[in-house]
Amino acid sequence: MAKYIGKRLLRSILTLFIIITIVFALLRLMPIEGYFQNFEKMSSVQIKVGLQQLGLTDPLPVQLGNFWKGVFRGDLGVSHKYRVGVPVLEIIAGKLPLSLAIGLSALGIALVLGLPLGILMARSTRTKWKIGDRLGTVFVVVIQAIPAAVYYLLIQFYASRLPGLSMFFYPDRPLTWILPIFSLALGNIAYYAMWLRRYMVDESNKDYVKLARAKGVPTADISRKHVFRNAFVPLVQFIPTSVILTLMGSLYVESLYSIPGMGGLLVTAIQNQDNTLVQALVLIYAAISILGLLVGDILMAILDPRITLGKKEGGR
């Protein structure tokens, strides 16, 4: 296990390095206005001196090497537009906890609601009218078919009319957390329900389940102790996708509800062409996504002892 985790960790670090290197190179192709607060008022000499001070006149490999040296020292540079001269890590440190709190809450709610819904749908397939399965399928199809931005807007517009809820987010008012968190959770609720239902139906048709029914084992015990347990193992592989979906949704939801978190910060940094801040945020988002992939692989190996962590198995 330790050897496998070590290999996956090294692979994750290599992937992160490649992603950031590509983003770093692409940002260097962007207009240089993003590195100066008053670019339009600067002379060509001032611009040239400013670029030299920032190390942007060096060859790209040298710039990249200096960037990674700064990363290892915990220095991601300073903001040039958003908050001029303020270290990027200081800016992010003030916004990361809020984004994590909202994102993790959304993932938790998705598990709490999505798994029971999937179980209900799977059990309903064995009933006469299959009402639970049909209603659940309608919910899943609607969430999967409608673009997330559309139902985000609908939730904000209509649900904010309910007492205590608001179209905007206020950290000190707990009720204003409900709509952003619920909006982020919806996609994953449908995702978990859809796949758990599929895996449980597949497990229910296997020989060991039929044998248990023939022996008179109660249906509830079969569903809980055997079908759900075996169906949940492959569902773990979708944890990274859930993390990525939550990160993608937070970019829009945080801007929509004026949440002072990292999602809105990235949008603002891109709009202001604050390249140093953009590359730091991309580094963090990429690290979180890759960490999700790593955790998903490790959990798969822990929950299912049948998985062999060899050269051709256990990896993505």
Least confident of 67-71, 134-138, 166-170, 301-305: 301-305
In the chain, pLDDT over 70 holds for what percent of residues? 95
User: Per mean pLDDT, which of 73-77, 197-201, 220-224 is the most reliable?
Assistant: 197-201
- What is the number of structural domains in the chain? 2
Q: DSSP for 264-305?
A: HHHHHHHHTT-HHHHHHHHHHHHHHHHHHHHHHHHHHHHH-T
pLDDT at site 309:
53
* 120 and 74 part of one domain: no
125, part of any domain: yes
* 124 and 48 part of one domain: no
* 137 and 254 part of one domain: yes
pLDDT at site 133:
93
149, part of any domain: yes
- Band (pLDDT 50/70/90 cuts) for residue 45 is confident
* 184 and 41 part of one domain: no
Q: DSSP for 2-27?
A: HHHHHHHHHHHHHHHHHHHHHHHHHH
CA distance 24 to 22: 5
310, part of any domain: no
- Residue 193 pLDDT greater than 90, yes or no: yes
pLDDT at site 314:
44
* 32 and 180 part of one domain: no
234, part of any domain: yes
**Number of other CB atoms surrounding residue 224 within 10 Å:** 12
- Band (pLDDT 50/70/90 cuts) for residue 308 is low
301, part of any domain: no
312, part of any domain: no
Task: Give the mean pLDDT of the chain.
Answer: 85
**Number of other CB atoms surrounding residue 64 within 10 Å:** 17
CATH at residue 220: 1.10.3720.10
Going by the DSSP 8-state scheme, the letter that residue 226 receives in this structure is: I
Report yes or no: 163 and 240 within 8 Å, Cβ to Cβ.
Answer: no
User: Beta partners for 78?
Assistant: 87
Helix, strand, coil abundance in the chain, percent, nearest 5: 75, 0, 25
309, part of any domain: no
The pTM score is 0.80
* 109 and 90 part of one domain: no
* 16 and 134 part of one domain: no
Q: Give the pLDDT confidence of 207-237 residue by residue, as tens digits.
A: 888 888 888 888 778 888 888 888 888 788 7
Q: Give the pLDDT confidence of 164-190 residue by residue, as tens digits.
A: 888 899 988 999 999 999 999 999 999
Least confident of 134-138, 272-276, 307-311: 307-311
* 116 and 218 part of one domain: yes
* 135 and 145 part of one domain: yes
- Band (pLDDT 50/70/90 cuts) for residue 239 is confident
* 200 and 130 part of one domain: yes
Q: What is the 3-state secondary structure (H, E, C) of 125-165?
A: CCCCCCHHHHHHHHHHHHHHHCCHHHHHHHHHHHHCCCCCC
* 195 and 116 part of one domain: yes
* 227 and 253 part of one domain: yes
Average pLDDT over residues 241-270: 84
Segments forming the whole domain that contains residue 70: 2-94+261-295
Least confident of 69-78, 102-111, 231-240, 255-264: 231-240
CA distance 4 to 7: 5
- Residue 315 pLDDT greater than 50, yes or no: no
- Band (pLDDT 50/70/90 cuts) for residue 158 is very high
What are the backbone angles phi and psi of residue 87, rounded to the nearest 5°?
Answer: -55, 140
User: Per mean pLDDT, which of 93-102, 289-298, 307-316 is the most reliable?
Assistant: 93-102
Report yes or no: 186 and 146 within 8 Å, Cβ to Cβ.
Answer: no
From 238, 259, 280, the end of a domain falls on: 259
89, part of any domain: yes
Cα Rg for the chain, rounded, in angstroms? 24
Average pLDDT over residues 101-110: 91
pLDDT at site 283:
85
- Residue 117 pLDDT greater than 90, yes or no: yes
